[in-house]
Amino acid sequence: MTASPSPVWHPFTQHALAPEPPMVVRGQGAWLETDAGGRILDAISSWWVITHGHCHPRIVAAIAEQAGQLDQVIFAGHTHPAAEALARGLVAMTPEGLDHVFFSDSGSTAVEVALKMAAGYWRHTGEQRTRILALEHGYHGDTIGTMSVGARGVYNAAYEPFLFEVTRLPFPQTGREQATLDALEAACREAPAALLVEPLILGAGGMHIYAPAVLAEMAAICARHGVLFIADEVMTGFGRTGTLFACEQAGVVPDIACYAKGLTGGSLPLAVTLCRRAIFDAHYSTDRARTFFHSSSFTANPIACAAAVANLKIWADEPVGARIAALGDAHDERLARFRDDRRFANVRRLGTIAALDLVAPDPGYLADVGPRLAAFFRDEGLLIRPLGNTLYVMPPYCTTAEDLDLVYGAIATAADRFGRA
């Protein structure tokens, strides 16, 4: 008897073309294990979420303890110790001035919440400001609102009629930063509601890096015009860019900041949107119409919050910063050989994230080379999921130098096989 095909519909997967997915049954540190006993090095932290490694014992223990005590409670009109501890911890560790915490459960919802906070702020302060400014190549999620503010392309073409208009600023490419700042200055004169950016690096849009000075200047322009500055730190948060949060490198305190992926060390879905007091205050009123009308059933799930509290403790008493710095150096040593290799372009690194573009005959997001590369890496026992012809490595912070040798060795072989001769 042949097994019936799985009813599972996978995300961002063309089932007519994709190979059978491996059945992953275990995760430990930087490694995954399949039911067939195969080992896979998780070189992209399972979609950029795992920070300290899979199944970090302190996070596992916190989850187990919380699960046996309080699994879930409605968060409207109720609270619980894990959420309170987490909110206080986050206010203490995020840039000073972010002092209210709203919980949700994914990066997309954290950004949706940020957009709704901005809309509510302007409505309740009596100004008609609704326009959002965003960066070209941006990615903020796959819900209708977050697709609206992200870059448009083949992946959201079918949903285009549902999306709202935003003003898009050119990406601040090295040497062309002034064009972005000028466009922002001009757009700010039209009294928009907010600027939404991925600080320092645009992830899914192609791992494009820009300088902290540009981020600082964008925030300053927004401040001068009274435009809200929203930082989407969903990918960059919790150490990915070398510092705890990317905004730190620019000395920027956003009006609203979104965190998700690494918040629980990547173990459970949880997200937060932090904001300055003025935004909370605009909603604080005896007038019920000013309530912040947003919730989801699992808002601030206690088990996820306990995992996040454990993550904060790991940041407080393990040498996470040193691990991140060492990982950055280890990337650099191994990236050096590709800098003069004409089969690669734009060899780049920010913190724990390294990226390089394979000069392929068919570049672009839907390029056939992307899935072919992914299949090649899978055969090599590596989880690497290129963005078209852009290869990137974003491993957990516990990844060793030997692990990285496997990754970069496979990238060199991939160039021989798929790169332009």
Query: Given the rule CB under 6 A, which residues bind ligand PLP?
Result: 106-108, 111, 139-141, 198, 203-204, 232, 234-235, 260
C-beta closer to ligand PLP: residue 135 or 415: 135
Shortest distance in whole angstroms from residue 10 CB to ligand PLP? 14
Q: Dihedral, CA atoms, 280, 284, 289, 291, nearest 10 degrees? A: 50
Shortest distance in whole angstroms from residue 141 CB to ligand PLP? 4
Could you give the CA distance from residue 77 to residue 299 in angstroms, rounded to a whole number?
12
Shortest distance in whole angstroms from residue 198 CB to ligand PLP? 5
C-beta closer to ligand PLP: residue 82 or 204: 204
Could you give the 3-state DSSP secondary structure of residue 319?
Answer: coil
Shortest distance in whole angstroms from residue 415 CB to ligand PLP? 26
Shortest distance in whole angstroms from residue 106 CB to ligand PLP? 4
C-beta closer to ligand PLP: residue 180 or 419: 180
- Left if phi > 0, otherwise alpha if psi is -120 to 50, otherwise beta: which for 316? alpha
Per-residue DSSP letters for 242-278? SSSSGGGGGT---SEEEE-GGGGTTSS--EEEEEEHH
Neighbours of 375 (CB within 10 A): 12
C-beta closer to ligand PLP: residue 177 or 198: 198
Instruction: Give the chain's end-to-end CA distance (angstroms, integer).
Output: 47
Spatial strand order in the sheet of 353-358 = 344-350, 353-358, 390-393
Contact criterion met (CB below 8 Å) for 115 and 149 = yes
Shortest distance in whole angstroms from residue 202 CB to ligand PLP? 8
Which residue type sits at 166? V
C-beta closer to ligand PLP: residue 236 or 389: 236
C-beta closer to ligand PLP: residue 245 or 418: 245
Contact criterion met (CB below 8 Å) for 221 and 114 = no
Could you give the CA distance from residue 192 to residue 190 in angstroms, rounded to a whole number?
6
C-beta closer to ligand PLP: residue 147 or 367: 147
Could you give the CA distance from residue 225 to residue 191 in angstroms, rounded to a whole number?
8
Q: What are phi and psi of 112, to 5 degrees?
A: -55, -45
- Left if phi > 0, otherwise alpha if psi is -120 to 50, otherwise beta: which for 128? beta
Shortest distance in whole angstroms from residue 417 CB to ligand PLP? 28
Could you give the CA distance from residue 150 to residue 166 in angstroms, rounded to a whole number?
9
Tokens for 20? 């059978």
C-beta closer to ligand PLP: residue 147 or 410: 147
Contact criterion met (CB below 8 Å) for 19 and 360 = no
Q: Which long-range contacts (CB under 8 A, 24 or more apart) does 153-158 make?
A: 153/365, 154/365, 154/366, 155/12, 155/365
C-beta closer to ligand PLP: residue 107 or 419: 107
Count of residues making up the chain:
421
Q: Which residue is nearest to ligand PLP (CB)?
A: 107
Which residue type sits at 56? H
Shortest distance in whole angstroms from residue 246 CB to ligand PLP? 10
C-beta closer to ligand PLP: residue 53 or 205: 205
Count CA within 13 A, CB hemisphere, residue 232. 30
C-beta closer to ligand PLP: residue 83 or 258: 258
